[in-house]
Every structure is written in C-alpha cells, then in structure tokens.
Structure 1
Amino acid sequence: LHCSETLYKDSNSLFSLLNLYSVVFSPSDSCELTLDTNTAHRNLKLSEKNRKVTYVREDQPYPDHPDRFDFWSQLLCRNGLTGRCYWEVEWRGEVGDSNDCVFGRNDHSWSLSCSAGGYSACHSNRLTSIPTTPVSNRVGVYVDCPAGTLSFYRVSSDTLIHIHTFNTTFTEPLYPGFIIWLSGSSVSLCSMKQR
C-alpha cells in the first residue's frame, strides 16, 4: 500500500475549521489481519477465511476457550500490533458501543462506533460524538505504536477523510477487535493487496 492522500477534516463534523492534512502510508505499513476464532462470542459467525464476522442469533459450535468473549458479542484479531500498521474494514448494520467490558469503555481499549447516524469515539468511558456526513461503510485505521497514535479515517472513493485520532502511550501489543450488535450486521477485513 502506498497512499499519499490529501485529507480535509469534514466541515460538518466537530472539527469546524477546514484544515489540510497530508499522510503517507508506506507499503510496509499495510497489514493483513485475521480474526481470532478463540475470542469470538458464540453469536459471531466467521467466514471468508476468518476475514468476515457476522452477528447471528444461533450459537456457533466453537469449542470452549479461556480467551472467548462470553457476554458481549465481540472478538479480537490474532495479530498483536507493536509498530505501524494500516488496515481497512467494511461494516454493515450497527457496530460498537456499550458498557465497561466493551471496547473503549475502559483505559485498556479504544473504540470507534459506526452507524448510519455517524461515528463516536470512546476511551476510558469518555465518548466523543462525531456527526460526520456522509457516513462511509468503509473505515481505515492507522496505528503508530511508537508515536502513540491511533487514527480512524472515512474511506470514500479511495479518499481518506480524518474522523478521529487518539494520542496515548501503548505499553502492550494492540489487538484490533470488533463488537457487533444487531443480527445480520457484519464487519469484513478488507484486502490491502488490492490497493
């Protein structure tokens, strides 16, 4: 992946000033992530070689595992990230949001919730609403662990539009994860080889 995009903050979002950004992701920053079946809640069905997850009402016949989420319908990726990494996901339905064991509701995780009404970012149970329009069903994520940044982008026609950045200090590997709320909602890890 080698994207050199000019990014504009959406004037309808919380960021009311129109600022110009330039970001460059080198090919080595591109990540091909895989969903971890050992962490998947039983209402999450994995498909497409563990690159797509869909919320279903029927329990999946996953074997017992100490890492499995047993209350919230969430899962992690196998890959623990410690360097720089960019990936994209496509979502359908309602993805993200809820209580303290959920991603973003504690000081060990960060989240971006996506819905047709916009986005919200959360860390340590502090929620930031981001009413960006139009909403894209594709989100790009860039983490730079050494620099302590985790950034989310709206992907539209191969253009990246900044949604939110968390600034922090990462002390452990970062495991991307997803929470899915409604039956039929899904998240797919996009192949970065096509970019």
Structure 2
Amino acid sequence: VTLDPDTAHPDLVVSEDGKSVRRGAGRRDLPDNPERFDYWPFVLGHQGFVTGRHCWDVDVGDGGDWAVGVARESVRRKGRLSLGPQGGIWGLEKWGGQIRALTTRKVTLVALRWLPRRVSVHLDCGGGTVAFFDAEDGGLLFVFSRVSFAGERVRP
C-alpha cells in the first residue's frame, strides 16, 4: 500500500515513497482539494479494491495513538464524519492506551494482553469481512463481518 498525499490531513506528513506517515509539527498550508481530509487526521491509500482478497501490514510502533482500516471511496472528507461503518469506515484504533474497534455508534474495546506493534489488515470484498490481526503472532484482534461495500471502491 502506498499513501495518497492528496488525501492527507494538513497535520500529517507522508513520506516521499508513500510508505509511511507521521504527525507533523503543526498544520501545513496545503491546497484544500476535495479529496483532502480537513477534520480528522486521516490519509487514504492510492490503491482501491472492489473485488478480491487483499492484505497488508502496518507498522504502528510502540508509541502514540493510531488508526488503521479501510474506507469507502465516498467517505466524507470535509468536516466531522461518523467513525465507523455508518460513516464508511471499518477501522481499529489505539487511543489512550486502549485498542478499540470503530463500530456503529460507539467504539468496542478490544481486550488484549499486549499492544500490537504491527497490525495486519485483511480485506475480503466478496466475503464481506475486514479483519485485523497482530502481524507478529497472528492473533485475531477484531473482525467486521457481513460488511457490504455495495460494489463501491474501498481504500486502505
């Protein structure tokens, strides 16, 4: 997966090769193009999927908060959006030292013995699942099932 800098929130800095992102020192002065997130510090991948099975690993490290997952191509980019399937996002986040699944209307705490340093995201468009695993030990973290993307492109 390579990240699309045109979608990156102005607080985020995408590496030259598009393989990593970090929070910058402050809000950068970037064009307010329609595809750029302006409220939540998100960035999408260049790749999009409509069919098939796809997986990728994300190095989340030992430090701060993070979120990984997939979003519909039509996900709202401007202003506040619903974080979860109702907003077109299927994700897992670390926030305040807890792992949480971004489920409908409120988050679901994920009970873990330790915090993962690498998360493996498994997308099955036909099977309607988005699953998250600890990439180091293969343990299942959370799975969204019976997901319908309604034929829409989904992006990391």
- Which position in structure 2 is the counterpart of 1:163? 141
Identity of aligned residues (%): 30
Q: Please say if 1:112 is aligned against 2:122.
A: no
- Which position in structure 2 is the counterpart of 1:12? none
- For 1:135-150, list aligned pairs within 5 A: 135-150=115-130
Q: How many residues align?
A: 141
Q: Taking CA–CA contacts closer than 8 Å with sequence separation of 6 or more, which of the two structures ends up with the larger relative contact order?
A: 1
TM-score, length-scaled by structure 2: 0.80
- TM-aligned CA distance change 1:116 to 1:70, over 3 Å: closer
Distance in 1 of aligned mates of 2:25 and 2:82: 19
Paired residue for 1:93, among 60, 64, 68? 64
- TM-aligned CA distance change 1:116 to 1:136, over 3 Å: farther
Structure with the bigger percentage of strand: 1
Identify which range, 61-70 or 145-154, moves more after superposition: 61-70
Which portions of structure 1, spanning 4 or more consecutive aligned residues, are displaced by more than 6 angstroms? none
- Which position in structure 2 is the counterpart of 1:43? 11
- Note if contact 2:40-2:80 (Cα within 8 Å) is conserved in structure 1: no
- Residues 135-179 of structure 1: per-residue CA shift (max 9 Å, x gap): 1111001010000010000122xx310011101122111111xxx
**In the TM superposition, what is the alpha-carbon distance from 1:131 to its structure 2 partner?**
2.1
Q: Give structure 1 stretches of 5+ with no counterpart.
A: 1-32, 177-195
C-alpha root-mean-square deviation of aligned residues, in Å? 2.3
- TM-aligned CA distance change 1:93 to 1:49, over 3 Å: same
Q: Give structure 2 stretches of 5+ with no counterpart.
A: 69-78
